[in-house]
Amino acid sequence: MVGLRKQLDVLLARALHRLHKSEQEGAAGKATAAAVVALGDRLGRRASARGRAFLVRHVLNEPIVFTDRFGLRYLLFPSDAVYESFLNDGYYERAEQDFCAGYVKPGMTAFDIGASHGYYTLLFGKLAGPERVHAFEPEEGNFARLRMNLELNDLQSVHASRVAVVDQPREVDLNVFPPELYGWHTLGAPVMEVDGRSAKPVEQQRVEGVTLDGYCSEQGIDRIDLLKLDVEGAELEALRGAARLLGERRIACVMFEVSEAMVEGMNHDPSEVFELLRAAGLTVHELAEDGSPRVATGHPTRNFQNFVAIA
């Protein structure tokens, strides 16, 4: 084990150094990525999901490049959902990814708002073509991971923007949680807990805010085939900034998350998002375990739940 650890440490040290420079060293970055991918795939064949998670978190204690069930590669850090990734051959939102895999076709225009590290961005890029994908992620660290993951998959032609999507063009303050809670960064002030303890933002980042109507007008985009929306309680603001697109029936499908605590942190009620989408002529669906949609009759049944609104 000691010899293996030394070999892995050397490989990872070299790989991480070059990965951080991959934007300036395209060829070297790709060669390094291939080496780290090989490491991640070896881990994937040797042990159970729990054993592999233990190895990444407590033995290596360094990021690896993980290859998911769609053949997409991304950096997997020890503080990420490592066990869930190995267990599901990819990100833990399996039903949502299965829906996207069945829905998105080549040539469609797909938006990933609240892209985080790019799990959906990468999938959209593979399915629709990278030049048809627009990703928005306001948090600095997440955006850096997103750019690195795009590089690993040769999807640099995805349109990635470090901005927030809101109701009116303006600068906004993003409340940033610790790195292990990278999916919680929010414009609101939610009351959150982890293992019974209060979890609070540790800093604020001021970022540019854009509207979907304004962005699409500037980019000459007439239609969004799939809009994935996960902005930690600010979904209503993002949709209000798409009033023209929604009113003209130019958004065919919206996949959105409802987090009750995050929505309350924005001083909203989950029903407001449902009402806005239904008023725009979309039917809200829940997702079954296999990713198939079924009409939603009520409100969320758990704190975090994803829905799909289809024209």
Residue spans of the domains in the chain: they are 2-88, 94-310
CATH superfamily assigned to domain 94-310:
Vaccinia Virus protein VP39 (3.40.50.150)
CA distance 284 to 275: 10
Which residues are paired to 308 by β-bridges?
A: 255, 285
Question: What does the pLDDT read at residue 11?
Answer: 44
* Terminal Cα distance for the chain, rounded: 55
- Dihedrals phi, psi of 183, to nearest 5 degrees: -90, 5
What pTM does this model have?
A: 0.84
pLDDT values of the chain reduced to their tens digit, one per residue, 311 residues: 344 344 444 544 454 454 445 444 444 444 444 444 445 555 545 468 888 888 888 887 878 888 999 999 988 888 888 888 888 787 778 899 999 999 999 999 999 999 999 999 999 999 999 999 999 999 999 999 999 999 999 999 999 999 999 999 999 999 999 988 988 999 998 888 888 888 998 999 999 999 999 999 999 999 999 999 999 989 999 999 999 999 999 999 999 989 888 988 999 988 899 999 999 999 999 999 999 999 987 666 667 789 999 99
Question: What does the pLDDT read at residue 30?
Answer: 44
